[in-house]
């Protein structure tokens, strides 16, 4: 049966007006399936995202047999709450991490040193073997690393580090020596304010130590750390060393912490000691001991193989006697007093040793 095509223009539609006495529409807006009291009681959960997630799961299971209109209304309401709660939780977490204090990632001291009841008595009355050096002198060596500040203002050790050696321990704290180039990024400003580095013992616990003295000319630096407990004292004796004498070097070459290497003094070169012991990056700042435990030098450099691939066992250490040369030092904080107390302790120890021999 054919149908005639009827075309109605927009002008004709606009001319249509409802009858003045037409009855109202019988299609009224239905009430929301989510009652007002449910909205009011669940809205505060946006502040506790885990609790809101648990409630959402429970209600989703509870309404699984309800008509589609009820299920979709509750899903829409709960989704809105979850989105708002997620946004609030994210903003709150960012503010908390950015402004709230975070527990320190470094310790305030070195418990391994604080808890020692005694330190080795040096110089030893007998020659030390390699095993003796490992047992007695390795605990006197530390790991030294410039501090790196994270985005949350916390400090951690950098990817590069060297070594350091204990010079003096008394009731107040510990004085360490290391190479100056190990601490060059320690945060020292032009105003002379004390910078700091991070140090650690064999336990691997990092602590903060102040840079209290520097001698760029000799490539030496002094570190100071306060003491929290204990009273055991220690004085590291110094020696000029003899050409050809046996030596022991302790350091952290290529990240292999507390590595012991042996060799001899190959030559005495002005302010440096040339040694044959194998050293690598990570040994810098580490001690060079003689066979009695006297400190001969602080490892400073090695010959660059890129300049001559045939060069072998050409390493150098700053002479430990440079610690006695006050005119070569630039002090920070109370560094001059700390070094002075160490030098006085050496003098007293030498006097006592001389009296004992007499």
Q: Are residues 237 and 265 in the same domain?
A: yes
Q: What is the pTM of this model?
A: 0.71
* Calpha distance 108→89 (Å, rounded): 33
Domain range for 240: 111-357
Q: Is residue 23 a part of any domain in this protein?
A: no
Chunked in runs of 10, what are the mean pLDDT values of the chain (358 residues)?
63 63 60 85 90 89 85 88 91 76 65 92 94 96 88 74 95 96 66 72 90 94 93 94 95 94 94 92 95 96 64 84 91 93 88 62
Q: Is residue 273 a part of any domain in this protein?
A: yes
Give pLDDT, residue 178. 97
Q: Are residues 322 and 211 in the same domain?
A: yes
Give pLDDT, residue 39. 87
The distance from CA 249 to its chain's CA centroid, rounded to whole angstroms, is: 26
Q: Are residues 145 and 56 in the same domain?
A: no
Kindly report, residue by residue over 73-103, the tens digit of the pLDDT: 888 888 999 999 999 999 988 887 666 554 4
Q: Are residues 63 and 90 in the same domain?
A: yes
Q: Are residues 68 and 159 in the same domain?
A: no
Task: Single out the residue in 48, 78, 99 at which a domain terminates.
Answer: 99
Q: Are residues 118 and 222 in the same domain?
A: yes
Q: Is residue 106 a part of any domain in this protein?
A: no
CATH code of the domain containing 133: 2.40.10.120
Q: Is residue 2 a part of any domain in this protein?
A: no
Query: How many alpha carbons fall within 13 Å on the CB side of residue 28?
Result: 4
Give pLDDT, residue 193. 43
Give pLDDT, residue 192. 39
Number of domains in the chain: 2
Q: Is residue 160 a part of any domain in this protein?
A: yes
Q: Are residues 88 and 191 in the same domain?
A: no
**Helix 49-62 and helix 68-99: axis angle, to 10°?**
170
Q: Are residues 69 and 173 in the same domain?
A: no
Strands of 138-251 (E only): list them: 141-149, 155-157, 162-169, 173-178, 195-200, 206-215, 220-226, 234-235, 246-251
Give pLDDT, residue 36. 87
Q: Is residue 69 a part of any domain in this protein?
A: yes
């Amino acid at each position: 049966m054919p149908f005639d095509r009827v075309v109605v223009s927009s002008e004709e539609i606009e001319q249509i007006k409802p009858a003045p006495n037409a009855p109202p529409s019988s299609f009224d807006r239905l009430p929301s399936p989510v009652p007002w009291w449910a909205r009011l009681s669940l809205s505060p959960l946006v502040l506790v995202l885990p609790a809101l997630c648990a409630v959402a799961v429970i209600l989703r299971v509870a309404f699984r047999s309800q008509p589609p209109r009820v299920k979709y209304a509750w899903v829409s309401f709960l989704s809105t709450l979850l989105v708002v709660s997620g946004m609030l939780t994210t903003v709150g977490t960012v503010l908390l991490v950015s402004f709230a204090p975070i527990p320190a990632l470094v310790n305030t001291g070195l418990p391994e040193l604080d808890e020692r009841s005694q330190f080795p008595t040096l110089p030893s009355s007998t020659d030390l073997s390699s095993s003796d050096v490992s047992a007695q002198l390795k605990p006197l060596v530390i790991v030294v690393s410039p501090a790196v500040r994270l985005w949350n203002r916390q400090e951690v050790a950098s990817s590069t580090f060297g070594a350091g050696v204990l010079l003096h321990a008394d009731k107040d704290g510990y004085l360490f020596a290391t190479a100056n180039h190990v601490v060059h990024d320690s945060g020292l400003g032009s105003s002379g304010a004390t910078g700091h580095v991070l140090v650690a013992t064999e336990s691997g616990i990092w602590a903060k130590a102040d840079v209290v003295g520097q001698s760029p000319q000799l490539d030496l630096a002094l570190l100071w750390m306060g003491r929290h407990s204990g009273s055991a004292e220690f004085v590291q004796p110094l020696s000029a060393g003899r050409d050809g004498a046996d030596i022991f070097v302790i350091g952290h070459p290529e990240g292999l912490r507390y590595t012991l290497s042996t060799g001899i003094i190959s030559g005495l070169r002005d302010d440096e000691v040339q040694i044959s012991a194998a050293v690598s990056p990570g040994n810098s700042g580490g001690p060079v001991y003689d066979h009695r435990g006297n400190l001969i030098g602080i490892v400073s450099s090695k010959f660059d193989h890129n300049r001559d691939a045939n060069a072998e066992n050409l390493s150098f250490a700053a002479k430990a006697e440079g610690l006695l040369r006050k005119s070569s030092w630039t002090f920070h904080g109370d560094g001059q007093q700390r070094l002075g107390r160490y030098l006085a302790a050496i003098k007293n120890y030498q006097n006592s040793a001389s009296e004992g021999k007499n």
